[in-house]
Amino acid sequence: MESYLQEIIRQALLEIGAEENQIPPIKIEKPRDPSHGDAATNVAMLMAKTLRNNPRNIAEQITAKIRSDSSKVKTAEVAGPGFINFRFADDYLYSELASILEKNTEYGKSSENSGLKCLLEFVSANPTGPLTVGHGRNAVLGDTVARLMEWTGAEVEREYYFNNAGRQMRMLGLSVQARYLQELELDAGFPEDGYEGAYISDIAKELVHEHGDSLANEADETVFKEKAEKVIFDDIQNSLKRMNIVMDSFFNEHTLYEDGSIQKVIDTFRGKGLAYDKDGAVWFKTTEFGKDQDTVLVKSTGEPTYRLPDIAYHANKLDRGYDLCLDIFGADHIDTYPDVINGIEVLGYDKSKVEVLVYQFVTLMKDGKPFKMSTRKANFVTLDELMDEVGEDVTRFFFLMRSPNTHLEFDVNQAKEAGEKNPVFYLQYAHARIQSILRKVTELEAFDGSADLSLLNHESEISLIKKLMSFPDAISGAASVREPHRLITYLNELAQGFTSFYHDCRIIGTEKNLMHARTMLAEATARVLANGLGILGISAPDKM
């Protein structure tokens, strides 16, 4: 409807004397007060100077043209200093309701991002341990943003970036080696700063089971590191699958060293006078980009800071032909990722193709206090432990129900509540309740799925149809700002709208033709709820 209104307004402006290049972007908004109509625009006020006329006069001329031409608009009225308020025609509402039922599982999809090739990188935890609750918010946010963008027509690839080299992985191997020797009751000290979680002992026990004591005299940690990496990566991928997340590709940071990409970044920076040596380290002249001080790229120990491989990695992404490279980062990256984006620009790439979505961290709460469910795998709560405690759907939903840029307090008590206090239960129950109604209608008599929709003229029925019609806009809005919680807000409003409709308009027990029309409205509501929950990666049960 938005594009339709924009076009008829544009045509009206041309007819009253505006030139094509004089017409600004025509913004259509939903009035806060429903009594003002279904849509509104301020374009008349924007055109006042150009047309040298009073905004109300311009608005009156526009509405006169629209009233005579439009079949989708019931009324177009001028308000205030020159706003135009629109009310949709009833026949248009009924045709849209029929379209929802016809499109079914495809309803809500659009082509606004058609042709956009996007690489979305998220999770990206090194294989040194299981995924934690903190990783969980990253994972769910990334996957849901990907789903939203896919529903708006984008081609999205989900990528996991990791590093299986360096000190962290060496310490992982040494930790497993020490536990392996201890399992054999051999004298072995545990490395300082080693990984102490019980998962390390579990991996060591597997090695004893597979190899006995044949690895006792291994000179280094390589075999132990390789085993640990495989076990942990399998564990990570299984955790993601539980969350309904499947990665399309995995990228190993180590390949950037092997193919010379890292050195190429340093050489290019030096060639442009933006990298220099000082105190045995290599520095990036970030003061050229407004920072208070320059930034280390390679430490005096020869170890690169994370910025250097990240710059090379983003160059690699853009070399692969993506139109948009979207990263999901925790708040601990907020001061550092600008260095990566500036580095991309130094290399000659369009930095506007790199976008970073930063999310705040998660605190588990129970009885109003920070909650730790287990310390079995070191001093953190794993994502699997959380899912075991509250379920996969609830875990995923709770990670999404707040804006990414706000701190999330994950209330375990609320998450375990099997009632309307649990927000995901509320939406799933709404879908299940509608399915129950549809089954009862079918039991009463044969229903071929057709009805006279013009019988739907109660205020609650019309309001619910309009809410259903705004589903594509809800998806588009959430996708454009990368904020999945906006879709949750919409679904809550839809469920509330159905509750009002069901309270005001009896379905079963009313006249047959009206019952059929209301049944179709209920069916459309269930479909939109299911589509919305599907975008969130959450099930829409038929029974609860």
CATH number of the domain encompassing residue 280: 3.40.50.620
Residue 192 burial class via C-beta count within 10 angstroms: exposed 0-12, middle 13-18, buried 19 and up: exposed
- Domain membership of residue 401 (yes or no) is no
Residue 10 pLDDT: 92
The Cα-based distances of 179 to 48, 223, 299, 375, 464 in angstroms read 78, 14, 32, 18, 62
Residue 447 pLDDT: 73
Tell me how far apart the alpha carbons of residues 301 and 282 are, in angstroms, rounded to a whole number: 11
pLDDT tens per residue, range 442-455: 888 767 778 999 99
Among candidate residues 242, 271, 295, the one where a domain is terminated: 242
What average pLDDT does range 171-188 have in this prediction? 93
- Domain membership of residue 377 (yes or no) is no
- Domain membership of residue 447 (yes or no) is yes
| Statement to judge: residues 530 and 474 lie in one domain | yes
Tell me how far apart the alpha carbons of residues 231 and 229 are, in angstroms, rounded to a whole number: 6
Dihedral Cα 470, 472, 478, 480, nearest 10 deg: -120
| Statement to judge: residues 478 and 442 lie in one domain | yes
- Domain membership of residue 366 (yes or no) is no
Residue 372 pLDDT: 66
Is-contact 377 197, C-beta < 8 A? yes
Q: Which CATH number does the domain housing residue 44 bear?
A: 3.30.1360.70
Is-contact 108 444, C-beta < 8 A? no
| Statement to judge: residues 440 and 509 lie in one domain | yes
Tokens representing 34 are 């429903």
Residue 334 pLDDT: 85
- Domain membership of residue 405 (yes or no) is no
pLDDT of residue 1 exceeding 90, the answer is no
What average pLDDT does range 201-205 have in this prediction? 95
- Domain membership of residue 81 (yes or no) is yes
| Statement to judge: residues 492 and 439 lie in one domain | yes
List of residues 6+ apart from 342 with CB closer than 8 A: 286, 289, 351
Residue 69 pLDDT: 64
Among candidate residues 242, 257, 281, the one where a domain is terminated: 242
| Statement to judge: residues 37 and 173 lie in one domain | no
Please state the three-class secondary structure of 436-482 as a single string.
Answer: HHHHHHHHHCCCCCCCCHHHCCCHHHHHHHHHHHCHHHHHHHHHHHC
Residue 416 pLDDT: 87
Residue 34 pLDDT: 82
For the chain, what is the mean pLDDT?
A: 92
β-strand 362-366 against 408-411: which pairing, if any?
parallel
- Domain membership of residue 406 (yes or no) is no
Is-contact 312 256, C-beta < 8 A? yes
Could you give the number of structural domains in the chain?
Answer: 4
Q: Which CATH number does the domain housing residue 437 bear?
A: 1.10.730.10
pLDDT of residue 70 exceeding 60, the answer is yes
Tokens representing 486 are 């906006």
Q: Could you tell me which residue, 66 or 25, shows the higher pLDDT?
A: 25
Tokens representing 536 are 């969130």
| Statement to judge: residues 270 and 352 lie in one domain | yes
pLDDT tens per residue, range 486-500: 999 999 999 999 999
| Statement to judge: residues 215 and 258 lie in one domain | no
Residue 519 burial class via C-beta count within 10 angstroms: exposed 0-12, middle 13-18, buried 19 and up: buried
What average pLDDT does range 101-109 have in this prediction? 96
| Statement to judge: residues 511 and 530 lie in one domain | yes
* Banded pLDDT at 31 (limits 50, 70, 90): confident
Tokens representing 353 are 């193709």
Range of the domain at 63: 2-88
| Statement to judge: residues 233 and 295 lie in one domain | no
pLDDT tens per residue, range 284-326: 999 999 999 999 999 999 889 889 999 999 999 999 999 999 9
- Domain membership of residue 402 (yes or no) is no
| Statement to judge: residues 267 and 296 lie in one domain | yes
Residue 224 burial class via C-beta count within 10 angstroms: exposed 0-12, middle 13-18, buried 19 and up: buried
Tell me how far apart the alpha carbons of residues 379 and 81 are, in angstroms, rounded to a whole number: 62
pLDDT of residue 64 exceeding 60, the answer is yes
| Statement to judge: residues 350 and 315 lie in one domain | yes
Nearest CA to 42 among 55, 61, 23, 57?
55
What average pLDDT does range 401-410 have in this prediction? 93
Angle at 129 between CA 244 and CA 230, to 5 degrees: 80
pLDDT tens per residue, range 356-398: 999 998 988 888 887 765 444 466 788 999 999 999 999 999 9
| Statement to judge: residues 528 and 428 lie in one domain | yes
pLDDT of residue 215 exceeding 80, the answer is yes
pTM: 0.91
What average pLDDT does range 26-49 have in this prediction? 90
Residue 375 pLDDT: 40
Residue 72 pLDDT: 87
